[in-house]
Amino acid sequence: MVQSTEEGMQSFEELVRHYSHSCLWWLGPWCPIMRLFHPEAIKPVLQASVAVAPKDPLFYGFLKPWLGEGLLLSNGQRWGWHWRMLTLAFHFDILKPYVKIFNQSTDIMHAKWRRLVLSGSPSLDICEQMGLMTLDSLQKCIFSHHSDGQEKPSNYILELLNLVVRRHQQLLHHLDCIYYLMADGQRFQQVCSIVHCFTADVVQQRRLTLGHVGREAWLQAKQGKTMDFIDVLLLAKDQDGQELSDEDIMAEADTFMFGGHDTTASGLSWVLYNLVCLPEYQQQCREEIQELVKDKALEELEWEDLSQMPFTTMCIKESLRLHPPIIAVSRRCTEDIQLSNGCVIPKGACR
Ligand code: HEM
């Protein structure tokens, strides 16, 4: 197992340098894991249909008690239906007002940094700061929950994430019957239930209000206002008029909190790190942004500006390429898949 440390990353890099195409690992004597490194090696697996290369239950399964059957953990027809419902529900008009929310959360973070500098604090942990900021943004976009989370952090999402990573690294903890007897397993259950109670409470309250006022009046009241993720999913219907259940909505809300939090925090931290290392590029980004906000009273980026910052966008993309927040995805093939070098991933093997 790759350790979630700098040494772990270095040993992983070494592995990729050594076996540049792919290699085979055994998890105990019974579970073969094909590791595919080269884009040409990964291509046939990513191009295979969801039915042939579904997500691997071993790799993702520990997230199930937390995330339920949201997009990340579902497969087959359920995944397809949720995917269509979410795609239909999220057009750009829904997403546009979220930029204001990102500005608010970033302002809170910047104000905190200014205070830290004034108080003479010599350093800050940028990943932690970014994590609190992205969590704050997600809570506002998903639940319209405006907490004091950046000032008084209680980061249950990050705690769950760390517990899942730790569980992966301890083979004995892979067995439910052992894990849930251990302190980590019990804490995982406890924090899952705190997070679920919060999500269930928001969804049920919102469903109740929607039931009282009715769909049309609800939509009228929301005109010109920001619809959060829960609103959008409560109102979503497919071609046959079928709606998502409370459980479906809760699973998607928890999944998006999980999917969007640490990934963006890590990506943003690396962007800043790379720009610090390359002051010329940093200056070019600064000038590009200053040009965009120079005539605005609030000096804030708006939705339309996001497509007008080509250099900054290139820097973000290059940073994501150099330091991807997610370094692996995992699939378990239900049919043999042939790789470009002629090797075959046999049915049932993970990758
Ligand atoms: C830099 C930021 C991000 C990175 C690097 C990233 C990376 C990924 C990757 C690699 C997957 C594929 C997992 C797999 O197929 O096994 C994925 C899936 C997913 N991500 Fe992200 N993600 C980012 C941001 C976000 C955000 C902001 C959200 C939501 C707010 C999000 C929600 C999801 C969801 C729901 C899935 C499951 C999609 C599906 O299976 O259909 N991600 N992400």
Per-residue tens of pLDDT for the chain, all 351 residues: 677 788 888 998 899 999 999 998 887 787 888 899 999 999 999 999 888 999 988 888 999 999 999 999 998 889 999 999 998 777 888 899 999 999 999 999 999 999 999 999 888 999 999 999 999 999 999 999 888 778 877 778 889 999 998 998 898 999 999 999 999 999 999 999 999 999 999 999 999 999 998 888 888 888 888 899 999 999 999 889 999 999 999 999 999 999 999 999 999 999 999 999 999 999 999 999 999 999 998 889 999 999 999 999 999 999 999 999 998 899 988 999 998 888 888 887 656
- Please check whether residue 146 is in contact with residue 264, taking contact to mean a CB–CB distance below 8 angstroms: no
The CATH number linked to 142 is: 1.10.630.10
CA 320/CA 267 separation, integer angstroms: 6
Instruction: Give the ligand 1 atom nearest the CA of 257.
Output: 30
Last residue of a domain, one of 244, 262, 280: 262
- Residues framing ligand 1 (Cβ under 6 A): 55, 71-72, 83, 255-256, 259-260, 263-264, 267, 324-326, 329
* Domain that includes residue 78, residue range: 57-262
Please state, in angstroms and rounded to a whole number, the distance separating the CA atoms of residues 177 and 175. Answer: 5
| 287 phi/psi in degrees, rounded to 5 | -65, -40
Specify if 16 maps to a domain: yes
Nearest protein CA to atom 18 of ligand 1, as residue = 72
Angle of the 126-143 helix axis to the 98-118 helix axis, nearest 10: 150
Distance of CA 107 to the CA centre of its chain: 22
What's residue 300's pLDDT? 93
Residue nearest to atom 36 of ligand 1 (CA): 72
20 and 86, same structural domain?
no
84 and 122 both lie in a single domain: yes
Count the domains in the chain: 2
- The pairing of beta strand 22-27 with beta strand 31-36: antiparallel
Nearest CA to ligand 1 atom 27: 260
Whether 280 is covered by a domain: the verdict is no
Distance 346 CA to ligand 1 centre (A): 27
Q: What is the number of the ligand 1 atom nearest to the C-alpha of 79?
A: 41
* Ligand 1 center–CA 211 separation, angstroms: 32
Residues 68 and 36 in one domain: no
Contact 270, 279 (CB under 8 A): no
| Last-in-domain residue among 211, 231, 262 | 262
**HEC secondary structure over 277-338:** HCHHHHHHHHHHHHHHHCCCCCCCCCHHHHHHCHHHHHHHHHHHHHCCCCCCCCEECCCCEE
Residues 130 and 241 in one domain: yes
Q: Which of 226, 247, 262 is the last residue of a domain?
A: 262
* pLDDT at residue 257 in the model: 92
- 226 in the same domain as 85: yes
Mutate to test the pocket of ligand 1, among 59, 62, 72 (most ligand atoms within 8 A of CB): 72
pLDDT for 1: 66
DSSP 12-41: HHHHHHHSSSEEEEEETTTEEEEEE-SHHH
- From the CA of 312, how far away is ligand 1's center (Å)? 22
User: Where do the H-state alpha helices sit in the chain?
Assistant: 6-18, 39-47, 57-60, 64-67, 76-89, 92-95, 98-118, 126-143, 156-169, 176-179, 183-213, 215-222, 229-235, 246-277, 279-293, 310-322
Specify the residue with its C-alpha closest to ligand 1, atom 28: 260
Hey, which of 263, 274, 333 would you mutate to test ligand 1's pocket, going by the most ligand atoms within 8 Å of its Cβ?
263
Q: Give me ligand 1 centre to Cα 255, in Å.
A: 9
Same-domain status, 192 and 243: yes
Please identify, by atom number, the ligand 1 atom nearest to the C-alpha of residue 134: 27
Same domain, 102 and 177: yes
Q: Is residue 183 part of a domain?
A: yes
Distance 220 CA to ligand 1 centre (A): 32
Q: Which two tokens stand for residue 1?
A: 């197992």
Same domain, 184 and 246: yes
Distance from the CA of 332 to the center of ligand 1, in angstroms?
19
Whole-number Å distance, alpha carbon 259 to ligand 1 midpoint, is: 5
Distance of CA 228 to the CA centre of its chain: 17
